[in-house]
Amino acid sequence: VLIYELSRLGRTFYETLRALQELEALGAPIIAVSPKEAFLANLDPQVRKLILAIFTWVAERERELLRQRTREGMLRAKLQGKHIGRPRKKVDLRLVKKYREKGLSYADIARLLGVSYSTLRRRLKELGA
């Protein structure tokens, strides 16, 4: 089995180890082409297992730290009043009123304005229209 990095085999330490064990039990050699892991192919099988376990654990820790930093950064930005997520779509209330006067449905108006029906209804509710 040719992979770039061992960390791509699973999301968690145990999931990756389980995948490694299952592949080895099937007799499928695992070859990592990442420059930092390529040396593993030439190691004694027992040493290789130990290093694979360590690499897998380190990869999981990196994912956990990244997830934690992301959450903390988003919380900090939110506390500073910054918008989190996609940019909000603008809805021109004057255009909506004009189109409604012409007899267009909200679905048609949403299409014309380039927003979803639910976004249009939500913006109208927010604007009290």
Separation between Cα atoms, residue 64 and residue 12, nearest integer Å: 10
pTM over 0.75: no
| Mean pLDDT for the stretch of residues 6-12 | 81
Domain boundaries of the chain, sorted by first residue: 2-79, 93-127
pLDDT for 122 equals 94
pLDDT of 38 strictly over 80: no
Is residue 67 predicted with pLDDT exceeding 90? yes
The pLDDT of 19-35, averaged and rounded, is: 85
Phi, psi of 58 (to 5 degrees): -65, -40
